[in-house]
Amino acid sequence: ETGVTQTPRHLVMGMTNKKSLKCEQHLGHNAMYWYKQSAKKPLELMFVYSLEERVENNSVPSRFSPECPNSSHLFLHLHTLQPEDSALYLCASSQGTGGNQPQHFGDGTRLSIL
Amino acid sequence: GENVEQHPSTLSVQEGDSAVIKCTYSDSASNYFPWYKQELGKRPQLIIDIRSNVGEKKDQRIAVTLNKTAKHFSLHITETQPEDSAVYFCAASIGVGGFKTIFGAGTRLFVKA
């Protein structure tokens, strides 16, 4: 299934670098999500956009900055990250303009902070 | 605060046996409960979901039950097969619009052939 595509698949960056993660969905969905998945921890919701409007912002540090230019694309801009930010970052999308819908996930970006 | 507790964290069963994973949630306003399966190195995929107006739902070997009064829901897999080995996550959607999804910590299921 290639409905939700994330790039890059792997990213290694230093703490002073700036990089961006990209997510694209081809499912005609209206809501998109960013999650952080760390070892031995539950999936942590970071941000949710519905029709390009942010509807959830889950107390995420400002070094993570989301952008949703249209309902098919979602970005996560990263700057001055910390070693504890190393994790798998998953993007997901769901249909409709309301929540309570199944989410379709991408393969994730494995991020390592040196 | 809002949370979803999931048990057990690890479950090992013999092929053909049943597996049961249980979750409890804290927010009584939750009304959507999906279950996701994540195989090693792969993306989470929805396997079944249930809404708060339904007590039970079944799809072939997989079933989910919901007890709103007790605020818990369970996943039942019958006639387990080696390919069922994966991490299973329960979740509950809360908040205005239901966009906020809280996940359990996951259950690693091993099915021994």
> From residue B47, how far is each of A104, B43, B50 by CA, in Å?
11, 12, 11
Whether residue A107 lies within 8 A of chain B, CB to CB, comes out as: yes
Whether residue A100 lies within 8 A of chain B, CB to CB, comes out as: yes
- Please tell me the distance in Å from B65's CA to the nearest CA on chain A: 17
Residues of A in contact with B46 (CB under 8 A): 102-104
- pLDDT tens per residue, range B35-48: 999 999 899 999 99
- pLDDT tens per residue, range A56-77: 777 899 999 999 999 999 999 9
- Please tell me the distance in Å from A28's CA to the nearest CA on chain B: 17
- pLDDT tens per residue, range B60-85: 999 999 999 999 999 999 999 999 99
**Cα–Cα distance between A23 and A32 in angstroms, integer?**
9
Going by C-alpha positions, the residue among B88, B47, B54 that lies closest to residue B68 is B54
**Cα–Cα distance between A20 and A107 in angstroms, integer?**
16
* CA angle, A52 then A55 then A56, to 5°: 125
Residues of A in contact with B98 (CB under 8 A): 98-101
- pLDDT tens per residue, range B75-113: 999 999 999 999 999 999 876 677 788 999 999 999 999
- Please tell me the distance in Å from A44's CA to the nearest CA on chain B: 7
**Cα–Cα distance between B81 and B15 in angstroms, integer?**
5
Residues of B in contact with A4 (CB under 8 A): 43
**Cα–Cα distance between A42 and B86 in angstroms, integer?**
15
Interface touch B103/A56, C-beta < 8 Å:
no
User: B4: exposed, middle or buried (C-beta count within 10 Å: 0-12, 13-18, 19+)?
Assistant: buried
Amino acid identity, position A29: H
Whether B15 shows a pLDDT value over 60: the answer reads yes
